């Protein structure tokens, strides 16, 4: 069971698009914040349009996500409030219709061969489509991977030869690799 579940029965889809609005309750926002490792989610909601496409074999979800989150600054760890507004499209197709992802010689997904204009395709679920989980995943993608507080910047010469890097961060947080750095210096 996901933290933010809004099941939608796909058999409710007929000839026209169905509009759905989903929003998370306070407890769901807290659970999602823990899942994503961020400080807080104050709001997450989405306007969705769900319709059958490709002669009724696939389902297309067009959405507009709106969220208010707080993440820790990557430099100072102070809370950084952010408003997220993003549109997305997801197409659900039968599992047998999914196109394989391009892979390189090592068997890894070849990101250079991915079509940046292609719409994301997912396998149609056997039961209802979980609109809450879809919105949660879109939020995860939209989060800033390196939030930075206004004016926060790294010390310009950290790590330069002869520079002393502090062993503790603000609020007494310990630098996890300080001991390793000291051991490496002794080995030289």
Q: Per-residue pLDDT for 161 more than 60? A: no
Residue 105 lies in a domain: yes
Residue 159 lies in a domain: no
Q: Is the distance from CB of 116 to CB of 147 less than 8 angstroms?
A: no
Residue 35 lies in a domain: yes
Q: What is the DSSP string of 49-83?
A: EEEEETTTTEEEEEEEEEEEEEEE-TTT--EEEEE
The reported pLDDT for the residue numbered 22 is 97
Domain that holds residue 76: 7-142
Residue 187 lies in a domain: no
Residue 14 lies in a domain: yes
Q: Per-residue pLDDT for 162 more than 60? A: no
**Helices in the chain by DSSP H: which ranges?**
26-36, 131-142, 178-187
The tally of domains found in the chain comes to: 1
Residue 177 lies in a domain: no
Residue 168 lies in a domain: no
Cα–Cα distance for residue pair 169/78, rounded to 1 Å: 12
Residue partners of 11: CB distance under 8 A and separation at least 6: none
Which pLDDT tens digit goes with each residue over 100-122?
Answer: 777 888 888 776 666 666 667 89
Instruction: Tokens for 64, please give them.
Output: 């507009």
C-beta neighbour count of 18 within 10 angstroms = 13
Q: Is the distance from CB of 139 to CB of 61 less than 8 angstroms?
A: no
Q: Nearest-CA neighbor of 10 among 183, 128, 123, 146?
A: 128
Residues of 70-84 as b/e, b for ≥16 C-beta within 10 angstroms?
A: ebebebbeebbeeeb
pLDDT grade for 59, boundaries at 50, 70 and 90: very high
The reported pLDDT for the residue numbered 117 is 65
């Amino acid at each position: 069971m996901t933290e933010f579940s809004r099941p939608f029965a796909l058999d409710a889809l007929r000839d026209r698009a169905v509009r759905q609005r989903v929003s998370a309750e306070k407890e769901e926002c807290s659970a999602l914040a823990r899942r994503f490792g961020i400080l807080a989610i104050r709001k997450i909601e989405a306007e969705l349009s769900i319709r059958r496409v490709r002669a009724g074999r696939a389902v297309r979800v067009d959405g507009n996500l709106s969220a208010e989150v707080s993440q820790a600054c990557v430099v100072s760890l102070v809370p950084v409030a952010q408003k997220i507004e993003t549109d997305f499209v997801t197409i659900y197709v039968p599992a047998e219709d999914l196109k394989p992802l391009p892979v390189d010689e090592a068997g890894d997904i070849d990101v250079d061969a991915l079509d940046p204009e292609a719409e994301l395709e997912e396998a149609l679920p056997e039961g209802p489509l979980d609109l809450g989980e879809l919105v949660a995943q879109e939020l995860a993608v939209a989060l800033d991977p390196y939030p930075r507080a206004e004016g926060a910047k790294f010390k310009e010469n950290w790590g330069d030869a002869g520079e002393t890097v502090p062993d503790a961060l603000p609020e007494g947080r310990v630098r996890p690799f300080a001991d390793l750095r000291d051991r490496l210096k002794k080995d030289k």
